[in-house]
Amino acid sequence: MVFHLEYLITAALSFLLSLILTPAIRTLAIKYDYVARPRDDRWHKKTTGLFGGVSIFISFMGVWCLSAWYAGSFEFIRPLLPAALCGAAVFLLGLADDIWDINPQYKLIGQVVAASILVFFGFQFSWFESKTANLLISIFWIVGITNAFNLLDNMDGLSAGIAAISGFFLMIWISLTMGRHPAILPELIMLSAYIGSILGFLIYNFNPASIFMGDAGSLFIGFMIASLTIMESPEKAHGGPLFHQLSVILIPCLILFIPILDTTFVSFMRKLFSRSVFQGGKDHSSHRMVAVGFSERKAVSILYLFAAISGMIALGLYPLKVGVSMVMVVFFLIFVMLFWIYLGNVKVYGETPDAMVKHNGFLFPVLMEAGYGRTLFSVLLDLVLITIVYYTAYLLRFENDLGPNFNFFLKSLPILFACQIFCFYLSGVYQRMWWGSRLGDLSVYLKGVTTGTVMAMLFLLFVYRFQSFSRAVFVIYWGLMLVCVSFSRFFFRILDERISRVNQTGKPTLIYGAGVGGLMVVREIETNGLLGMSLVGFIDDSPMKKGKTIHGYPVLGGSDRLEEIIRKHHIEEIIVSFKVNGAEKKKEIKKLCAGKGLDVSVSQMHLTISP
């Protein structure tokens, strides 16, 4: 990978120009009343200036043209001139929408025309043997990514930040794959100007934003990054050992993973709730994260992190072997699927459609919530886990080189499917509700994985005498499968508890008694926001518990240190969690607090079961 000084200078110049232009354009936009006002279907709460996309466009084009002038050759800009001109047309289309509010259908038509012209000039994928298929998928890609960034512009700094991250990883990927090839210099210079101009704008657009990019900016940055991902180069067009068909498709998808994912997710959820895909709404991934308790900055940062991880995985596809690459991608996609299923559970629409049923906090289509459907989803996920974990075990055992062992992997995989799924059923794995998973369920998962692994080994011993099969592979499989099954089942519970713990707000609260009753109080405080309590920790008179951490909260000391603890942590509420002699303990604490002049409310836990 080679980074020339020209790239850094280009990025710095476009950054500085954007940094200077953005506040000037913001002043003009506010002066002439080109602003975005708060609406029910929009996220922002205050009137904010538009036309931030103008500063991005001018900075990008200005510095790119300056670089071309410095290079002193039309050949420097000629390969990218169609992308620049079509991008300018899309920018003007978005600017017209910001000023006059164009019908979405007309915007779509304009984007298709611009994409078609770009494809005519050779900006096409080479994914398939059919040139017609490549042409159609290229147009669909450009229009889809353009609109994906437009839809992603739903929270301060989100669309711009993801665009900058995507551009950065695309730049590294091109440098890695092309090395010192002179053909990449114009594209990398353009990417440098692209990243710098966006970062200069992002300074003012990150939460709390003082200016928005508008459709002019979001459509432009989406169109340009989509164009640059499909720009034809020798390696991408002809392929090679490191660029087999699947990786060629995966790399641009991973680089632009978050825009693709968010657009797909929102479109699916809106379709499910019989809402128009083109209407505005507070139902994007970022909005749902805020709804479960994340701050706006944290929600945007999490999406930045996902974009960075997917970008790093895309880079990993280049040097790594196919098997290792696929393992990384599949594990990442499983994690993403679980996280976005959790987000899909967040209630953002007022009504509940007929096609949805809420069951134990889990939101799915009817198929997934019917008795057989829930099991179907679990079985399908387990089949994927069995495949990827078993394959990973082979990779670890044979040091990434399966060779002839791949045939034995394929031969034994159906047997492992049958044994593992059958034993999961017998062990009661599929009778467990994911949202309500408890620590005691680990024994069920352990039994299911162990019996399934042993049964598969016995079957191979009986049929093939275990010849050419590795016992070490099954040992590795057993350990990895237990971790993966447990993680997938506990994922929602862990995430739910983590979010509720981090986002507790209310009166600083102390629990007296770090036993079973105390754990019940913890759970209630974490899950019941109506209590208005923020748990600080425990006090307990047992010297064995002092200094320990229980359920993530510290045991701060005993009742002899109560005054010190209350004053230090500004405690306003104490809950006595003793099941036995709780009333007496409550009186003692009240008397102690009164004697010390501490203004603290003391409550007692009661477990009530009524018919």
Indicate if the pLDDT at residue 355 is higher than 70. Answer: no
Predicted local distance difference test score (pLDDT) of residue 179: 61
59 and 172 fall within a common domain:
yes
pLDDT of residue 435: 64
**What b/e string do you get for 316-326 counting C-beta neighbours within 10 Å, with b at 16 or more?**
ebbebeebbbb
Q: Identify the CATH number of the domain in which residue 588 sits.
A: 3.40.50.720
Which helix (H) or strand (E) element contains residue 81? helix 81-100
Final residue before a domain boundary, out of 455, 480, 500:
500
For residue 609, name the pLDDT band (cuts at 50, 70, 90): low
Residue 74: which pLDDT band, with cuts at 50, 70 and 90?
Answer: low
> How high is the pLDDT of residue 365?
44
Of the listed ranges 2-6, 223-227, 470-474, 556-560, the least confidently predicted one is 2-6
- Band of residue 525 on the pLDDT scale cut at 50, 70, 90: confident
The answer to the question of residue 609 being in a domain is no
How do residues 201-229 score in pLDDT, each as one tens digit?
999 999 899 999 999 999 999 999 999 99
Residue that is last in its domain, among 435, 466, 500 = 500
What is the model's pLDDT at position 370? 41
For the residues 233-260, what does the mean pLDDT come to? 66
pLDDT at 466 over 70: yes
Lowest mean pLDDT, pick from 112-121, 324-333, 448-457, 527-536: 527-536
112 and 261 assigned to the same domain: yes
Are 104 and 206 members of one domain?
yes
Signed CA dihedral, 437, 441, 446, 452: sign only: negative
Q: Residue 208: is the preceding peptide bond cis (ω within 30°)?
A: yes
pLDDT at 502: 61
Q: Specify if 11 maps to a domain.
A: yes
Q: What is the DSSP string of 354-415?
A: TTEEEETTEEEEHHHHSHHHHHHHHHHHHHHHHHHHHHHHHHHHTTT--TTHHHHHHHHHHH
Assess whether 198 and 214 both reside in one domain: yes
Q: Give the pLDDT score at 41.
A: 62
CA torsion 143→145→146→147, rounded to 10°? 90
Reported as a pLDDT band with limits 50, 70 and 90, residue 2 is: very low
Distance between CA atoms of residues 373 and 387, nearest Å: 21
pLDDT of residue 368: 42
**Do residue 479 and residue 418 come from a single domain?**
yes
**SS3 at position 605:** coil
Q: Which of 114-118, 135-139, 281-285 has the lowest mean pLDDT?
A: 281-285
Q: What is the mean pLDDT of residues 270-297?
A: 83
Band the pLDDT of 149: cuts 50, 70, 90. Answer: very high
The owner of tokens 């599929």 is: 430
Q: How far apart are CA 234 and CA 243, in angstroms?
A: 11
pLDDT at 500: 67
Residues 32 and 56 in one domain: yes
Question: Distance between CA 121 and CA 265 in Å, rounded?
Answer: 32
Predicted local confidence at residue 563, as pLDDT: 85
Contact 239, 125 (CB under 8 A): no
Mean pLDDT of the chain: 85
Residue 351 lies inside a defined structural domain of this protein: no
Residues 462 and 515 in one domain: no
**Residues 207, 78 share a domain:** yes
What range does the domain containing 547 cover?
505-604
Residue finishing a domain among 477, 500, 523 = 500
Does the pLDDT of residue 240 top 60, yes or no?
no
Instruction: Kindly report, residue by residue over 553-564, the tens digit of the pLDDT.
Output: 888 888 888 888
Q: Tell me how far apart the alpha carbons of residues 99 and 312 are, in angstroms, rounded to a whole number.
A: 39
Tell me whether residue 607 is exposed, middle or buried, using C-beta atoms within 10 angstroms of its C-beta: 0 to 12, 13 to 18, 19 or more. Answer: exposed
Question: Is 392 found in the same domain as 306?
Answer: no
Query: Both 16 and 70 in a single domain?
Result: yes
Residue 367 has pLDDT above 50, yes or no: no
48 pLDDT more than 60: yes
- For the chain, the domain total comes to 3
**330 is a domain residue:** yes
> Which residue do the tokens 């629409």 mark?
349
21: its two tokens: 């232009």
What does the pLDDT average to over 43-49? 79
Is the same domain home to 95 and 183? yes
Average of per-residue pLDDT across 568-579: 86
Section 234-251 average pLDDT: 54
Residue-wise over 136-168: b if at least 16 C-beta within 10 A, else e? ebbbebbbbbbbbbbbbbbbbbbbbbbbbbbbb
**Within-domain flag for 349:** no
Q: Which of 547, 516, 520 is nearest to 535 (CA)?
A: 520
Residue 63 included in any domain: yes
d(CA 558, CA 317): 55
pLDDT tens string 329-352: 999 999 999 999 889 888 877 655
- Parallel, antiparallel or unpaired: strands 35-36 and 48-49: antiparallel
pLDDT in tens, 480-524: 999 999 999 888 888 877 776 666 677 888 988 888 888 888 877
> What share of the chain has pLDDT > 70, as a percent?
87
Q: By C-alpha distance, which of 330, 347, 203, 210 is closest to 287? A: 347
Whole-number Å distance between alpha carbons of 508 and 569: 7
Instruction: Look at residue 591 and tell me if it is in a domain.
Output: yes
Do residue 185 and residue 277 come from a single domain? yes
